[in-house]
């Protein structure tokens, strides 16, 4: 079983690369954003629970997010592993994921992180905001999000580096080259 955690700042191309990896490796992409949308739209018990927090403007607790991931990993298409996109987001979730995978006889194979220079990320996100008509995305808010992302993910990067699982991939290459590098990294992992 190959469980891959794909990391990368907003604008690094993580979603695009996760979808390409899914096709190339035959492993399902599990995005927490997709899980939340699915559970909310279908009004599952977990979706209703998450909604009680969201309605109050609160963050959904880690336990609820972990429960959604656990439910998704229990589905048959995940029997050979999965590509986790956007999860874990913090150390509590990382430890919960380790415990969850241990329960099903799995473990993280590799944690590739798509690295892109912050100025390039800002430029990409400003273009995306313009295309999508997101007036709230300006350089200041984007840089603030980048700072928050870095502060939140630094402990995760350290956690996976200490375990020899973290691999940085140059995300400033053409999409195809990033994809080739990611496939190589995943295939070389145990």
Active site residue 89: yes
User: Are 126 and 139 a contacting pair, CB within 8 Å?
Assistant: yes
Indicate which residue of 19, 89, 107, 143 is catalytic.
89
Indicate which residue of 19, 70, 107, 128 is catalytic.
128
Indicate which residue of 19, 107, 143, 145 is catalytic.
145
Active site residue 72: no
Active site residue 124: no
Indicate which residue of 2, 14, 72, 124 is catalytic.
14
Indicate which residue of 37, 79, 127, 134 is catalytic.
134
β-pair partners for 182: none
Active site residue 37: no
Query: 28: left (phi > 0), else alpha (psi -120 to 50), else beta?
Result: beta
- Residues labelled as active-site residues: 14, 89, 128, 134, 145
């Amino acid at each position: 079983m190959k469980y891959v955690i794909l990391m990368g700042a907003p604008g690094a191309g993580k979603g695009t690369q996760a979808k390409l990896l899914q096709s190339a490796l035959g492993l399902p992409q599990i995005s927490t954003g997709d899980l939340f949308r699915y559970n909310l739209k279908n009004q599952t018990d977990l979706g209703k629970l998450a909604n009680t927090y969201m309605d109050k403007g609160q963050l959904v607790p880690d336990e609820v997010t972990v429960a959604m991931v656990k439910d998704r990993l229990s589905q048959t298409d995940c029997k050979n592993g999965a590509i986790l996109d956007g999860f874990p987001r913090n150390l509590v979730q990382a430890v919960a994921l380790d415990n969850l995978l241990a329960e099903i006889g799995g473990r993280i194979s590799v944690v590739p992180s798509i690295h892109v220079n912050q100025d390039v990320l800002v430029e990409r996100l400003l273009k995306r905001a313009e295309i999508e008509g997101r007036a709230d995305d300006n350089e200041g808010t984007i840089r603030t999000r980048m700072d928050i992302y870095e502060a939140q993910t630094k402990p995760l990067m350290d956690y996976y580096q200490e375990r020899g699982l973290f691999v940085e991939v140059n995300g400033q290459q053409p999409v195809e080259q990033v994809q080739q590098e990611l496939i190589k990294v995943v295939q070389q992992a145990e």
